[in-house]
Amino acid sequence: MSAKRIAVLVSGGGTNLQALIDAQHRGEIVNGEIAAVIASKPGAYALERAAKAGIPGYVVARKDYPSNQAMTIALVDKLTSLGIDLVVLAGFMVILTEEMVRSYPNAILNVHPALIPSFCGAGYYGLHVHEKALEYGVKVSGATVHFVSEECDGGPIVLQKAVAVEEGDTPEALQRRIMEQAEWVILPRAVSLFCQGRLKVEGRTVRILKPLNLSKECLQ
């Protein structure tokens, strides 16, 4: 199986991108390579992280297009011209339209900072997610990596990890703990599983297949 070419789409700081870069340096993205970082904003700090790691960075800015649909079409053109196999939304704050999902069916992963189906959907992004979770009074939150479908935050779930809410948590403190303990762990893991061909989507369920174990007998 040839190595999968990964594009990471970002809008801001890019700590999840950094977790992917670090995992790649440790050899933990098996059969995959981050081939491009694409930002929706020209000044996104994530582009500096990409440059430091020697990964080509591109900007497809929301402000340069009249609608989310026009921007999505431009993104699909860019991704196909780069020969991308897997699209990773890592803190990407633009809602993509159906053209993206049709071009990359079950080949777009998103990281969301809550346990879907809680605190997700339109309006739930970044710090707002943690504000809502604290307002509601939950004792546990966490993160989810899921395939992107045409429903916002509604695609099949790949991995989830729970994180305890602590007494006196602010949205910022909860956000940081969820990033450290959940997002930066499960996003690289999900990307590596995809690149190894180990994610099988069956309706709403994603099965994680065992690694291919080619023993000597099999190879003879």
Query: Which positions are catalytic?
Result: 112
| Token pair listed for 28 | 């933990």
From the list 6-14, 34-42, 73-81, 193-201, the region that binds ligand GAR by CB under 6 A is: 6-14
Residues 46 and 177: their CA atoms lie apart, in Å, by: 20
From the list 14-22, 34-42, 63-71, 77-85, the region that binds ligand GAR by CB under 6 A is: 14-22
- The stretches of 30-182 forming alpha helices (DSSP H) are 45-52, 68-81, 98-103, 127-136, 171-178
Instruction: Write each residue from 172 to 211 as x if it is in contact with ligand GAR (CB under 6 A), else as -, in one continuous string.
Output: -------x---x----------------------------
| Binding residue for ligand GAR, selected from 91, 142, 155, 188, defined by CB under 6 A | 91
Strand partners, 157: 146, 205
Kindly state whether residue 113 participates in binding ligand GAR, applying the rule CB under 6 A. yes
| Binding residue for ligand GAR, selected from 9, 79, 86, 90, defined by CB under 6 A | 90
Nearest 5°: the CA angle 20, 22, 23 is 65
3-state secondary structure of 88: strand
Identify residues 118-177 at the interface with ligand GAR (CB under 6 A): 125-126, 129
